[in-house]
Amino acid sequence: MFEKYIIASEKSWNKDMHISLNKKSDCEFILLSDQHSLNVENLRSINPKYIFFPHWSHIIPESIFSEFACVVFHMTDLPYGRGGSPLQNLILEGVEDTKITALKVVEELDAGPIYMKSPLNLSGSANDIYHRASFVIESMIQKMILEPCPPAPQTGEPTTFKRRTPKQSNIEKVDRKKTLFDMIRMLDADGYPHAFTNIDNFRIEFTEVMKNNGEISAKASFIKINDEV
């Protein structure tokens, strides 16, 4: 009988991971792409050996992680950088290379024992980085299902990131070119509040930022704030 595994992710850059893994193994990988499908009854019917969370924005209920082996992938070298918005916080702190940490889900956020870590470069847009991370995570999953990998407790003093709010995407008070460049690129991915500023009745959102001879250019989209024509 095939061992079954679940890939739980709502993000577009992970939508084909289960297809790729099915081609590379004798196991069955099943994609769950919405919060409602991740329930105990459905999971019991599948009976997965592991539930992998490459990118999941919701709290995983204790009723699930207490019954099933749940593995989350966090974009920091834990215990450094527990908490929300890891990519954005790393970039704002000037980090150029990080590690993706595969860890067991426990009650305390990002505090579970660690299965493994893999390096990840943080150049490019958020969309570039998330796609790059998807390939790294896929490789990590392959290793986990092929070789026994007991998780080890985290060591060192934890540091915590705070989840960013949409209001923090406002670039109105940014006064450094590097910060402006980083803010635009770190928010340039599907499902994220793009860097923006407001002028009169318009919200201007910025994506596709580039550097050229010390100057910064970006694509600007104008959105009527009150939605009137």
**CA angle, corner 113, sides to 112 and 118, nearest 5?**
105
Q: How far is CA 144 from CA 30, 68, 141, 165, in A?
A: 16, 16, 5, 34
Q: Does residue 228 carry a pLDDT above 60?
A: no
Give CA–CA dist 42/51, Å, rounded. 12
Q: Does residue 186 carry a pLDDT above 60?
A: yes
Q: Does residue 229 carry a pLDDT above 50?
A: no
* Domains of the chain, CATH where assigned: 4-161 (3.40.50.170), 166-224 (3.10.25.20)
Give CA–CA dist 80/68, Å, rounded. 26
Amino acid at the residue 111 = A
pLDDT value, residue 51:
97
Mean pLDDT calculated for residue range 129-151: 95
Give CA–CA dist 225/229, Å, rounded. 10
Q: Does residue 149 carry a pLDDT above 50?
A: yes
Mean pLDDT calculated for residue range 36-40: 93
pLDDT-derived band at 167 (thresholds 50, 70, 90) equals very high
HSE at residue 48, side-chain half, CA atoms within 13 A, is: 27
Mean pLDDT calculated for residue range 37-52: 96
pLDDT in tens, 112-134: 999 999 999 999 999 999 999 99
Sequence-distant (6+) residues with CB within 8 A of 147 are: none
| Peptide linkage before 79 cis (omega within 30 of 0) | yes
pLDDT value, residue 1:
59
Four-point Cα dihedral 78, 80, 86, 89, nearest 10 = -160
